[in-house]
A and B are shown apart, each in its own frame.
Chain A
Amino acid sequence: KAGVTQTPRYLIKTRGQQVTLSCSPISGHRSVSWYQQTPGQGLQFLFEYFSETQRNKGNFPGRFSGRQFSNSRSEMNVSTLELGDSALYLCASSAPGTSGALGGTDTQYFGPGTRLTVL
């Protein structure tokens, strides 16, 4: 079974521009989560989509948005880029029912990430 794929793998943008990142989950997975990873802050949760609905959201400004399509593929958009947005953006997919416990979190598998550099 193919893993999570993310495109593009590398991206260079300038301040003020906007960017769209794409994530295709593992076949059969309906949930996609997005994370930002920086050396200083580690892995920070952005948002999670399940069946085209945003189910959870982290503490990021409104410049960060996302969506999920009917085939479970997801996109993340960042508008008005800032230097501090330079990071590795990771998406992870999960299958329902793999949390092991009521009120848990389904097991997430990560894609290779998109390295965004803002100049």
Chain B
Amino acid sequence: QKEVEQNSGPLSVPEGAIASLNCTYSDRGSQSFFWYRQYSGKSPELIMFIYSNGDKEDGRFTAQLNKASQYVSLLIRDSQPSDSATYLCAVGGFQKLVFGTGTRLLVSP
């Protein structure tokens, strides 16, 4: 069983729609949760981090965490073609970070 699981996609959404990206993790002791965006040929860029159960909003992005269900999600509102990238979920504990393999998002104009 992979430690951090994501659907590889691609997830295709039209411009202006809400994109929903999901991630599950296996280590119940995990305390820190991150979403990174990676464009092709580039390095990962931090989008958001969340530590507590519930929702955290930052502009068009909302991260949701449910530790009981071991589930993290990222919602992107008003999706733009420039949001087309691979989104990496990362789960941390005791200064180690484990990444999922990423979900590829395609936003069509």
In the complex, are the beta carbons of A104 and B92 less than 8 A apart? yes
A33 to B32, CA, bound (A): 16
Query: Hey, what's the 0/1 contact readout for A45-79 against B, CB within 8 Å counting as 1?
Result: 10010100001100000000000000000000000
| Given A100-B31, A113-B43, A43 and B95 contact (CB-CB distance below 8 Å) | no
B-chain residues with CB within 8 Å of residue A56 when the two chains form the complex = 94-96
Count of residues in B whose CB is under 8 Å from the partner chain:
25
> Does A99 count as interface, using CB distance less than 8 angstroms?
yes
Point out residues on B near A: beta carbons under 8 Å.
Answer: 29, 31-32, 34, 36, 42-46, 49, 51-52, 88, 92-102
Point out residues on A near B: beta carbons under 8 Å.
Answer: 31, 33, 35, 42-43, 45, 48, 50, 55-56, 88, 90, 99-113
Interface contact tally, CB-CB below 8 A: 74
A-chain residues with CB within 8 Å of residue B98 when the two chains form the complex = 45
A55 to B99, CA, bound (A): 18
- The 27 sampled A-B contact pairs (Cβ below 8 Å) are A31-B95, A33-B97, A42-B99, A43-B99, A48-B96, A50-B95, A56-B94, A56-B95, A56-B96, A99-B51, A99-B92, A99-B95, A100-B49, A100-B51, A100-B52, A101-B51, A102-B31, A103-B29, A103-B31, A103-B94, A104-B32, A104-B51, A104-B94, A105-B97, A106-B32, A109-B46, A111-B43
Given contact pairs A102-B31, A107-B46, A110-B45, enumerate 13 new A-B contacts (beta carbons under 8 Å).
A42-B99, A43-B88, A45-B98, A48-B96, A56-B96, A90-B43, A99-B51, A100-B51, A103-B31, A104-B51, A105-B31, A108-B46, A110-B36
